[in-house]
A and B are shown apart, each in its own frame.
Chain A
Amino acid sequence: MNAVFTIIGKEIRDGLRNRWVLATALLLAALALALGLLGSSPTGTVKADPLAVTVVSLSSLSIFLVPLIAMLLAYDAVVGEIDRGTMALLLSYPVSRWQVIVGKFFGHLAILALATSAGYGSAGLALQWANGGLDPAAWQPFALLIGASILLGASFLAMGYLISTLVRERATAAGIAVGVWLFFVVIYDMALLGVLAADQGRHISPGLLNTLLLLNPSDVYRLLNLTGFENISQYAGMAGVSDQASLPVSALVAAQLLWIAVPFVLAAAAFRSKPL
């Protein structure tokens, strides 16, 4: 167990050292601020909390950005270390393979969580400060956004690890990672919309739609953010969807956790028998 923490610590230090955390946090903070400041101009008259509006626009942005960041971290995690030769040295130590992959994964997850919390958190504080006064009530959906973004990131991190473990070349891993990202973030929803439009509600029941949405971690994330809180869904114009897609938050969280656990367990199993 000790070895796991040693590896986690090393990954976090690596992330801080090579400015990875800093760059990602700055990027996320800048985008959150830009959206918050721009997005608050139309709502100025209705006195909606700027943070609550920001959650809506931020969740649409995070759906693209966070999985991409996670994939960038993960695709290289195993195949890159094997390529550079650091993995052979690491495995010559008294550590088992599951300790290595668990340590690396949680290290990367910590980096991602740190960057997301720092980036979005600092932007949220700045937004509230700019609009005068802190409103604790607005922080609840914002904190949920950060939490959901980390879960979303973790699921793509796990998929990235699976890709990184299965391939032999770093370039292949990068290509597949981008493909998987594109599929879940863009193509899946487009295809689903197309099917729904063509079907006209004849075959696809709300129950089937729910299942289809659960089969994509980025849709789970969207539902988690947009339907999790009543006033948020109103701003988002998703009130109708949240009525239709009647999934409780616990089911959404459970689905997202499965999206993390299943790819990661597969990655760990593949890593166990991977020749170096």
Chain B
Amino acid sequence: MNTDLVTLAGVSKHYGALRAIDGLDLQLHEGECVALAGHNGAGKSTLIKLILGLIRPTHGRVALFGHDAHGAAAARLRGKIGYLPETVALHPSMTGAETLAFYARLKRQPLSGNARLLEKVGIAGAAHRRVGGYSKGMRQRLALAQALLGQPRVLLFDEPTTGLDPASRLMFYDIVHELRADGATILLSTHALSELAGHADRILVMKAGKKIADGAMSALRRSTGLPIRIRLTFEDSQAGATLPDAWRRIDARRYELACLEQDKIDAIRSIGALAPPLADLDILVPGLDDIYAHLLEREDV
């Protein structure tokens, strides 16, 4: 059985001389949460628009649930998709509840679940106020609510947390967590990769319309070869002298070792053999942002 809900095969999208997407292959498997990272203009939004069938690829094929995403039948397929646009645009003269009712009717969903959905995103209290008077965070929450209408199987979030306060972010990732538990497939484009730790199964890094990395976080970390730093703090100041030369001295009591992911365990074992009293031990793992910065830098060379 084919479990690829979204498939892009050799897809390019050119705007005149600009190659917004350049020969991209991508599969989104069932129940997967994929983070899409890249600078502004890397092609993230274009990729999402291609999946939605808003634009037609110059070359290649975009398939949604196994069918052409831009064909005549595609409109029906979009009933199982939720989309949160980058710039949240809602109709200011409608209230929150009316907005959600409008979109629910378009998705042919009963309106009975709307109140619960508004409560879930935390704007039930403002449901009968006009959207024009909402704060940015509230509009984003309402936009998230419309994306969740009708239990979509594929969710496309275009920079969902940009400009949100920490509480709204937490709420957003709670919902992402819940969606994943229900088996939904999520594609999430972002600049803030560090927020995604623990949420994304796979990270896709794009640059100038090309895919420059694609894999699980640990695989990316291994492939970048970024070192892990182990930092020791001894209780008295002479104890560090017995450490092998690889350890760099930071000050009298603190020493640091940079090693590769695969050498991590050996390095920790070697400390145990020394046995001077340790006050503290830190393992500094390169974060997603470090990996991301490294990947983009590497491509620049």
Residues of A within 8 A of B (CB): 2-3, 6-7, 10, 13-14, 17-18, 84-86, 88-96, 275-276
Q: Once the chains are docked, how many angstroms separate the CA of A188 from the CA of B50? A: 44
With both chains docked as a complex, state the minimum distance between the C-beta of A255 and any C-beta of chain B, in angstroms: 33
- A84 with B54, Cβ < 8 A, contacts A94-B76, A94-B78 known: no
Query: Are B91 and A94 in contact (CB-based, < 8 A)?
Result: no
**Residue B94 at the chain A interface, CB threshold 8 Å:** yes
B85 CB contacts on chain A under 8 angstroms: 85, 88-89, 92
Q: Once the chains are docked, how many angstroms separate the CA of A84 from the CA of B107? A: 21
Query: Are A85 and B89 in contact (CB-based, < 8 A)?
Result: yes
List 9 A-B residue pairs with CB atoms under 8 Å apart, sorted by A's residue number: A6-B102, A85-B89, A88-B52, A88-B85, A89-B83, A89-B143, A91-B52, A93-B107, A276-B49
**Residue B293 at the chain A interface, CB threshold 8 Å:** no
Q: Which of A86, A91, A94, A276 contacts B108 (CB 8 A)?
A: A94
Closest 9 CB pairs of A and B: A85-B89, A94-B79, A92-B83, A17-B93, A96-B75, A93-B106, A276-B54, A6-B105, A86-B89
Query: Are A94 and B93 in contact (CB-based, < 8 A)?
Result: no
Give chain A's interface secondary structure class: helix
With both chains docked as a complex, state the minimum distance between the C-beta of A276 and any C-beta of chain B, in angstroms: 4
**Residue B26 at the chain A interface, CB threshold 8 Å:** no
With both chains docked as a complex, state the minimum distance between the C-beta of B58 and any C-beta of chain A, in angstroms: 11
**Residue B103 at the chain A interface, CB threshold 8 Å:** yes
**Residue B36 at the chain A interface, CB threshold 8 Å:** no
With both chains docked as a complex, state the minimum distance between the C-beta of A7 and any C-beta of chain B, in angstroms: 8
B55 CB contacts on chain A under 8 angstroms: 275-276
| CB under 8 Å from chain A, chain B span 70-111 | 72, 75-79, 81, 83, 85, 87-91, 93-94, 98, 102-103, 105-108
**Residue B210 at the chain A interface, CB threshold 8 Å:** no
A92 CB contacts on chain B under 8 angstroms: 52, 54, 78, 81, 83, 85, 156
Chain B positions 105 through 130: 1 when the CB is less than 8 Å from some CB of chain A, otherwise 0: 11110000000000000000000000
Known A14-B93, A86-B90, A93-B106; further 13 A-B contacts with Cβ < 8 A: A2-B108, A10-B94, A10-B102, A85-B87, A85-B89, A86-B89, A88-B52, A89-B85, A90-B106, A93-B79, A94-B77, A94-B106, A96-B72
A94 CB contacts on chain B under 8 angstroms: 75-79, 106-108
A90 CB contacts on chain B under 8 angstroms: 106
- A14 with B106, Cβ < 8 A, contacts A89-B83, A93-B78, A95-B75 known: no
A14 CB contacts on chain B under 8 angstroms: 91, 93-94
Q: Once the chains are docked, how many angstroms separate the CA of A94 from the CA of B64? A: 13
Q: Once the chains are docked, how many angstroms separate the CA of A94 from the CA of B105? A: 10
Query: Are A275 and B89 in contact (CB-based, < 8 A)?
Result: no
Closest to A86 in B: B89
Q: Once the chains are docked, how many angstroms separate the CA of A276 from the CA of B79? A: 19
A88 CB contacts on chain B under 8 angstroms: 49, 52, 54, 85, 89
**Residue B294 at the chain A interface, CB threshold 8 Å:** no
Chain B positions 132 through 148: 1 when the CB is less than 8 Å from some CB of chain A, otherwise 0: 00000000000100100
B53 CB contacts on chain A under 8 angstroms: 91
Q: Once the chains are docked, how many angstroms separate the CA of A275 from the CA of B14? A: 12
**Residue B56 at the chain A interface, CB threshold 8 Å:** yes
A7 CB contacts on chain B under 8 angstroms: 106
Closest to A275 in B: B55
Q: Which of A10, A17, A18, A91 contacts B54 (CB 8 A)?
A: A91
Query: Are A18 and B93 in contact (CB-based, < 8 A)?
Result: yes
B88 CB contacts on chain A under 8 angstroms: 85
Query: Are A93 and B103 in contact (CB-based, < 8 A)?
Result: yes
With both chains docked as a complex, state the minimum distance between the C-beta of A29 and any C-beta of chain B, in angstroms: 23
Closest to B45 in A: A88
Q: Once the chains are docked, how many angstroms separate the CA of A96 from the CA of B52? A: 12
Give the most central of A3, A88, A91: most B CB within 10 Å. Answer: A88
B105 CB contacts on chain A under 8 angstroms: 2-3, 6
Query: Are A275 and B94 in contact (CB-based, < 8 A)?
Result: no
With both chains docked as a complex, state the minimum distance between the C-beta of B84 and any C-beta of chain A, in angstroms: 9
B75 CB contacts on chain A under 8 angstroms: 94-96
Q: Once the chains are docked, how many angstroms separate the CA of A2 from the CA of B105? A: 8
Q: Once the chains are docked, how many angstroms separate the CA of A94 from the CA of B72? A: 11
A93 CB contacts on chain B under 8 angstroms: 78-79, 103, 106-107
B156 CB contacts on chain A under 8 angstroms: 92
B79 CB contacts on chain A under 8 angstroms: 93-94
Q: Which of A18, A84, A95 contacts B106 (CB 8 A)?
A: A95
Query: Are A6 and B52 in contact (CB-based, < 8 A)?
Result: no
Q: Once the chains are docked, how many angstroms separate the CA of A91 from the CA of B75? A: 8
A276 CB contacts on chain B under 8 angstroms: 49, 54-55
Q: Once the chains are docked, how many angstroms separate the CA of A92 from the CA of B54? A: 8
A2 CB contacts on chain B under 8 angstroms: 105, 108
Q: Once the chains are docked, how many angstroms separate the CA of A13 from the CA of B103? A: 15
Closest to B146 in A: A89
